A = this chain, B = another copy of it.
């Protein structure tokens, strides 16, 4: 882990980083479908087979990029949360929403990689789970703070929801009442619906002032989780 492992290990880390960087460039330029191991190797001046010493397959490289992307958007969300730490919860909520949207607009292919359809065929490995949870945690934290502070607005649990269902949502969002946890999960998914539709062109001849539209929709999502009108 430390740098005291000698030149060999450090060189390996550097090459690994260079590969990921070149791959990320290709991803941003052409999209995941056109990301080619051989092209990455070419850009780095190495032969394609040498690259397999660092990543056992193309999918593993993609997985590494997926984790980085999750971390990147999670970090953007955390920065927005911290920057709005003194604002009331609904404002903090929308600030984080906008940060996620901004990140998505700035990194469309990476967004597609993690929130679009699974790329090669395949299912996201376990290793991506903790990174994926990072954004969610930010939203959970905002709602939890509001709950422990001024309180949340009135919410209802889905009629007929099996007890395990509520319990699982509560496990997912500790410190948040179950009905808020359920609303939170819904808002979380809906947020990415809004962003995805904008990003993938579904709003093309429909929504014109997307900035305002999104801000409004994000505010209504905040209401939906009991954060009250801002």
Contact = CB atoms under 8 A, between A and B. Distances in A.
Interface of A: 30-34, 112-113, 115-121, 123-124, 129, 132, 158-162, 164-165, 168-169, 172, 182, 185-186, 188-194, 196-198, 200-203, 205-209, 212-213, 215-217, 220, 224
Given A193-B190, A194-B189, A201-B123, A209 B162 contact: yes
Nearest to A199: B117
A212 B165 contact: yes
**How many copies of this chain are found per oligomer?**
2
A208 B162 contact: yes
A159 B200 contact: no
18 contacts: A30-B121, A112-B117, A118-B200, A118-B201, A160-B212, A165-B208, A169-B207, A172-B206, A185-B203, A186-B216, A186-B217, A189-B190, A189-B194, A189-B202, A189-B203, A190-B190, A190-B217, A193-B196
Given A31-B117, A34-B120, A112-B117, 8 more contacts: A159-B216, A164-B208, A165-B207, A182-B216, A189-B196, A189-B202, A190-B193, A190-B194
Contacts of A185: 203, 206-207, 213
A162 B116 contact: no
A124 to B, nearest CB: 6
B192 A213 contact: no
Nearest to A31: B121
Given A193-B192, A201-B123, A213 B165 contact: yes
A180 B168 CA distance: 34
B117 A205 contact: no
A104 to B, nearest CB: 11
Contact of A209 (B30, B32, B161): B161
A158 B33 contact: no
